[in-house]
């Protein structure tokens, strides 16, 4: 069984996220999504999520491509996640290109092209500019 892992916040879930998850799942048999906790997002990324961790987890678990959702609480856990879950392929969007190459000794590292016309940041910006 080929295991794939990806990481993210997945707040304001949109079709770009679905495209990434679909393409990641197509690379193997079992897709693990490591979802940033609210605390990790705030303390490490200075991001406040619209939806809580529990809601974001529930949304991801409803997607047919996703086999398992686990919490991300630190940047360093990637090494242990890869070992613990016997990961074959680590997948991220290409906006992270090169940032996780250090994992290539443990598994294959793949950066997938993002869906160009959509992003959570764009959605937030559009909503903010339209609310004025």
Cα distances (Å, whole numbers) of residue 82 to 5, 54, 88, 99: 8, 23, 8, 16
Give yes or no for a contact between 6 and 33, defined as CB atoms under 8 angstroms apart. yes
User: Which of 2, 45, 97, 124 is an active site residue?
Assistant: 45
Select which of 2, 25, 47, 106 is catalytic.
47
Residue with tokens 């998850």: 21
Calpha distance 37→131 (Å, rounded): 28
Tokens encoding 45: 């990324």
The DSSP code for 37 is: P
Residue with token string 């996703």: 66
47 catalytic per annotation: yes
For this structure, is 97 an active site residue? no
Q: Are 6 and 36 in contact (CB under 8 A)?
A: no
Catalytic residues: 45, 47
């Amino acid at each position: 069984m080929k295991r794939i892992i990806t990481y993210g916040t997945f707040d304001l879930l949109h079709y770009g996220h679905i495209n990434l998850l679909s393409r990641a799942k197509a690379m193997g048999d079992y897709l693990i999504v490591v979802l940033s906790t609210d605390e990790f997002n705030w303390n490490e990324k200075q991001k406040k999520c619209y939806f809580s961790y529990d809601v974001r987890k529930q949304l991801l678990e409803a997607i047919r491509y996703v086999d398992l959702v686990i919490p991300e609480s630190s940047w360093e856990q990637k090494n242990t996640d890869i070992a613990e879950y016997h990961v074959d392929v680590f997948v991220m969007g290409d906006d992270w290109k090169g940032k996780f190459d250090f994992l290539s000794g443990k598994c294959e590292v793949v950066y997938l092209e993002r869906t160009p016309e959509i992003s959570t940041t764009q959605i937030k910006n559009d909503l903010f500019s339209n609310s004025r």
